[in-house]
Structure 1
Amino acid sequence: MPELPAFPFPSDHALRPSPRLGEVRGERAPVRVQLPYGAPAWLVTRYEDARLVLSSPAFGRDPRRAGLDEADVARSTPVDITAQTMVSADPPDHTRVRRFVFHTFTPRRIERLRPGTELIAEQLVDAMVEQGPPADLFEAFGLALPIQVICDLLGVPLGDRARFTAWTDMLVDADGLTPEEVLASIAEMNDYLAGQADLRAEHPTDDLIGALVRARIEGDQLSVDEMVNLVRTLLAAGHETTASQIPNFVYLLLRNGDYKRLSDEPELVHTAVEELLRYVPLIAQGSFARYVLEEIEIGGVTVRQGDQVLVELSAANRDGSVFADPETLDVARAENPHLAFGFGLHRCVGASLARMELQVALATLTRRLPDLRLAVPADEVPWHLHRFVRRPRELLVTW
């Protein structure tokens, strides 16, 4: 039997999907690939097929329902970091846990956070200007903005930011770590969050952790472990991805010359964010595996119960049957049904929050620093290549 191609496929730039993904999409049918850990998986790259896999009840996120052992789960990390979280649950458990945060992340509620987020962004730019150029946009702005917002939302001390960053870096980039080290770090984070919950049991608060503790005390069906795992997922996803995308977006806008256009045409910020979400992979490789619960056909290929399927969102978001001129970054693109936040039951619950933060970030930067430019040549920007998210190691800018 021939050796399966290793996945993720190599790319010539951190923010550019591998050309091999386009070739696979052109072949139309899913292909078998091998991730660093676990059993082989089918790789889906077409938009239509991606929506099918992400929404059909024939696929689940709990490997046990497909008869898979934990060691068989196709993954890029030594252990499945989504195990026992909302991300790896199926209905009815997924529905029950997700409803505890759904109302917090509605577009209307997120809009109430916009003024506070704008104030944080203004203060961060003030600090950059006071310090003077050059500045590392990732550290001074990209990381600082979402961590302050998510800390305020959850109610955890901003002073613990370094601990959060270390934990989430480990979750998304476990290269060189043993499974025992990864699990120990997760346990440390869980102990911290459980302690935060205990504090709120004695002294109630209005933040999200406080609301979850209050719901548990009042009898809703949410275990302590579920509550801790839910908050851990929100804390990690709520800052790591957005913190990476802010410098990624600014890098591309500066390199392509679109940053100046947004400064001149601020009304384009919202469409620019959607286009950048389509164009820049939110996750550096295929989404977490879906497990086949019943035989079904994808793109002319029959997948069987127990098989695993990866959806490569960056490839689906460049499907020419859906997006005109898909390889071009068009900040004025009007029709943009991208899948950056997923689709179906497991669509990112924090999508509205991420959108708002990215809109505020670009609007504030292009208004306050219209002459922003890279302080080093674009091809000399150093990149940090996580398994899941990719971003500049630092993005030195001047103005």
Structure 2
Amino acid sequence: MATLTKTLKLPFLRLNQTKAEMFARLERLNTEVANAILALPKDHRRALTSKSFAGVEIGSAWINQTIRNANARTHVKRFLRLPLETNNQNWRLHRTGATFSLGFGLLRGIKKRVPLEVHAASHRDALTALWEGRAKAGSLMLVRSKKGIWYACLSVSMDVPDAENTGRWVGVDRGQNIPVAAATPDGPVVFWKAARMRHVRRIYAERRCKLQKAGKRRAVKNLESKERRIVTHINHCISKDLVALAKRQGAGLILENLAGIRGRSKQRQETKSDAGQNRDYWPFYQLEAFVRYKALAAGVQVDSVRPHYTSKTCHVCGALNERRKHAYVCTRCGHQAHADANAAMNIRDWYGLCCPLELEVPAGGPHEPAPNPVRETAAQAAA
């Protein structure tokens, strides 16, 4: 059994103004406590407990979590706003009919229930599993949006069945011009376009440039936050469609391991100056993270392989060729295809086309030449 952990962001149902003002006041007080901790030497921070802040009206469980957050390994010199947070032992989920509510003691010695507003079916299923004991509760965080709406961020962990290996794979090739090219087991290749993401990057880069020249720093930060939310939403939609495609095909997803690709690959100055093509803005890891946790919940297996030569290798004959933008033409067999589609098919058929290699260390040491340093295990087994 695999463990799936989700964070549910749920607004409070009909939160009155008195409670909203109390949450805001305690959040400011919590931020002041965290900044006071940061002002102390590191040796004194580790000895702090909730008794050190007995005069603060915030509950001791919330203060203990604030101390842990302030002592975390971070380069923050001062918190602008630190949300209130506590562990799973200091809040309870209650249910009355179809309404869920949270019971927690934010003030010392006072515990109250606050109803939650639940619309999404997935959120309701997770809360039902938590209420019935099929899921485990995690931390609770109270956050406020820029519009002044208060949310409860609940961490919920549940056991999900392990994904079965059906022997069928959907090869996924990720890129900047085309975010995802997915080669299905039966042959067709599905593309997701990046026109909207490139447009957002370029438009917001131009707006930030104008705001920076005008010296409006706060507006620049707000614009960056909005751009980040739009890109995150696009990646959520792509990952959801990709997992649904694999679910319909009864196959797993196989991705490239793109760790360190920004350091390995070079880009021209013209490309780097274009916000729509700049590789530094390419959110490939976020997309992979979304795919992995959505696939875990859907029972879809996910695997990763090395990305070397997947875009240059001919899927038909295995020859190495240079791709020209989106076109791939093999000089040996004449195979023609979209470059990303050819790469996706190579990733899909990775286990059928490639065999593992093992490197042997010479007996005299790693610097002494050996007669046969590379051994192909598959060829040896066949012999």
The structure with the largest helix share of the pair is 1
TM range (shorter): under 0.3
The structure with the largest strand share of the pair is 2
Greater RCO structure (CA 8 Å; 6+ sep): 1
TM-score, normalised to structure 1, is 0.24
Query: Highest CA radius of gyration, 1 or 2?
Result: 2
